Structure 1
Amino acid sequence: MQTSNGDVFEKSHDELDFEFLGNIRGKEWRVQTNVYGNGSTSRGREERYYLPFDPTADFHRYSILWTADNIIFYVDDTPIREVRRSEAMGGDYPSKPMSLYATIWDASNWATSGGRYKVNYKYAPFVTSFADLTLLGCRLDPIQQVPTTRSGCATAAAEIAATGLAVMTPEKRRAMRAFRRQYMSYSVCYDRVRYPAPFPECDIVETEKKRFGETGRLRFRRHRRRVRRGGRVPVVADSNRQPQM
């Protein structure tokens, strides 16, 4: 699942991703988030996480909050990653209108244990299902790439503000830290092999940094937990949160 504008800006597109990586039966599922701005595909901003549930067993809620100030990825209403815009990011921060896409594509040359396991097409067709799709944002003219109405943009901004998704409360931040401590397996912010200096938006947490090697990968594999087929990521308790979907 991704937001992108590659059909309009072929060489300078923006993109936000939830990518479910290849899975081996009986192993934990992994999801990857990524951020590209202005065609910066050579500077991938990936993070990867184990999921505490089997995403094929039940529906789960995956949300991307994107504003002029920050980007927050949510799983079952729990924030798992925040990218805060900084001036030093320049065009690497997504800033152009995007559309929502859902695709299935073969990335088995790298996504499944570094390419050890290739996709087996005898199991095709591969099917994914979506439900309760909700889009909140400023509707744009697809040709002119300008807002259809200013009042519509104001209404969309108010709707987004009402959900509370854009605000990282102390409760949400604690929940995000807990999720990352338990499930994050790779962060570009700690990868000194690919990038000798961290990206300007990286929030380096020293206690978190110690758990990752120079490649940004987890130093010691945690004990594999039994995957809960019907489990969910705990919902953050937040008195300021209002229903959104």
Structure 2
Amino acid sequence: MGRLHGSLSETLTPFSLLFFFFFFSWFAGFTFAAFNLTTLSFDEGYSPLFGDGNLVRSPDGHSVRLLLDVYTGSGFISSSMYQHGFFSAKIKLPSDYTAGIVVAFYTSNGDVFEKNHDELDFEFLGNIEGKPWRFQTNLYGNGSTNRGREERYSLWFDPSKEFHRYSILWTAKNIIFYIDEVPIREVVRNDKMGGDYPSKPMSLYATIWDASSWATSGGKYKVNYKYAPFTSEFKELVLEGCPTDPIQEFPSASACSDRDAWLESRDYAVITPEQRAAMRRFRQRYMYYSYCYDALRYPVTPPECVIDPAEKERFQDSGRLKFGGSHRKQARITRARRKRRSRVASISNDQTDM
């Protein structure tokens, strides 16, 4: 070990040491202590939704695989509805060619309130081979599907290579979407939202399905079933909140008051200053669309949007990133502009010296 350490230190240049320092500093910015969670077996909290044999439970009952093949997708649902809660799972997505596929992890009451449902969702959008998964978050309240509040992002890791925890916190005060322990989006309830803020009991759903008509490049790339079956895996399932009787539909305020207070006291209910800084970094680097900056769709900014001038500067009136590409492309353009300015300044100085 001593010889290896010595040879390694001899080969590390000041530049490489600086690279490693910035790399690990950047990675550490998205790493926090794990939440204190109690996980459930599948039978303790969930039931099959559709797909029959395409829903495969592990022998110990603590994880489940959802498959999509040429015949059907699959999904599961929580056995209870919840009036507020923390909904979470570690998920691994299908690999290789996944165009046209959507894996969704979301809460909804659409089966009970067909015309005025509420919803909070993660939707993972597949891609052609060699291109990364993307995902979006969204929320609806009281059937406000014509006022979608979606944001779209890329990821800082390959979600098909390893499990990561995806979580939704829903309280009477706010909604937080998490990846691992990093908050990526917070919606604080605003009275001006009215019924657009989800308020009715919801179930937790997880599904995989064929969305060839829109999921990848607006439907340009379809699901290719020669790569089937496509498998998404779920484990370390968490349901924390106030379960309600689906027949009752609306629990009394007092029925959930104690549970709501407990929920709001949990470690995931408070965004620390360090987590808020990580959320800001995530949104700067990986968000490529936000409805809050979509002035063409919403000439009047939705009331819950908190406009960050520096963040807004990077987006067009369509809510998409400027320059029509990713943050990486934007960064390359910025660096190129700086180099051009530097060359112009250098030429100007040379001419002055002459």
Q: With the length of structure 2 as denominator, give the TM-score of the two structures.
A: 0.60
Counterpart residue number, 2:114 = 10
**Unaligned 5+ residue runs, structure 1?**
225-245
Task: State whether residues 171 and 260 of structure 2, in contact with CA within 8 Å, keep that contact through their aligned partners in structure 1.
Answer: no
- Mapping of residues 176-187 of structure 1, within 5 Å: 176-187=279-290
Q: Deviation of residue 13 (structure 1)?
A: 0.3
Query: In angstroms, what is the RMSD of aligned CA positions?
Result: 1.9
Task: State whether residues 140 and 148 of structure 1, in contact with CA within 8 Å, keep that contact through their aligned partners in structure 2.
Answer: no
Aligned length: 223
Structure 2 CA distance for partners of 1:125 and 1:155, relative to 1, 3 Å: farther
Task: State whether residues 2 and 16 of structure 1, in contact with CA within 8 Å, keep that contact through their aligned partners in structure 2.
Answer: yes
Q: Deviation of residue 44 (structure 1)?
A: 0.8
Question: Secondary structure at 1:188's aligned position in 2?
Answer: strand
Is 1:107 aligned to 2:211, yes or no?
yes
Question: Secondary structure at 2:232's aligned position in 1?
Answer: coil
The residue type equivalent to 1:132 in the other structure is E
**CA distance in structure 2 between the aligned counterparts of 1:104 and 1:210, rounded to whole angstroms:** 36
Is 1:191 aligned to 2:294, yes or no?
yes
Counterpart residue number, 1:163 = 266
Which structure features the higher share of helix residues? 2
Question: Secondary structure at 1:8's aligned position in 2?
Answer: coil
Which structure features the higher share of strand residues? 2
| Selected match of 1:134 from 238, 242, 246 | 238
Counterpart residue number, 2:171 = 67
Counterpart residue number, 2:344 = none
| Selected match of 2:186 from 67, 78, 82 | 82
Task: State whether residues 136 and 159 of structure 1, in contact with CA within 8 Å, keep that contact through their aligned partners in structure 2.
Answer: no
The residue type equivalent to 2:285 in the other structure is Q
Counterpart residue number, 2:224 = 120
Q: With the length of structure 1 as denominator, give the TM-score of the two structures.
A: 0.85
Question: Secondary structure at 2:185's aligned position in 1?
Answer: strand
**Unaligned 5+ residue runs, structure 2?**
1-104, 330-354
**CA distance in structure 1 between the aligned counterparts of 2:205 and 2:222, rounded to whole angstroms:** 24
Task: State whether residues 200 and 250 of structure 2, in contact with CA within 8 Å, keep that contact through their aligned partners in structure 1.
Answer: no
**CA distance in structure 1 between the aligned counterparts of 2:148 and 2:271, rounded to whole angstroms:** 24
Question: Secondary structure at 2:123's aligned position in 1?
Answer: strand
| Selected match of 1:19 from 123, 133, 139 | 123
**CA distance in structure 1 between the aligned counterparts of 2:254 and 2:191, rounded to whole angstroms:** 26
The residue type equivalent to 1:48 in the other structure is R
TM-superposition CA deviations, 1:132-173 (whole Å, max 9, x none): 11111101011112449967x355335423422222232221
Identify which range, 184-193 or 110-119, moves more after superposition. 110-119
Q: Deviation of residue 123 (structure 1)?
A: 2.3
The residue type equivalent to 1:207 in the other structure is A
TM-superposition CA deviations, 1:55-102 (whole Å, max 9, x none): 111111001010011100000110000111111100000000000001
| Selected match of 2:315 from 200, 206, 212 | 212
**CA distance in structure 1 between the aligned counterparts of 2:252 and 2:161, rounded to whole angstroms:** 40
Structure 1 stretches of 4+ moved >4 Å: 146-151
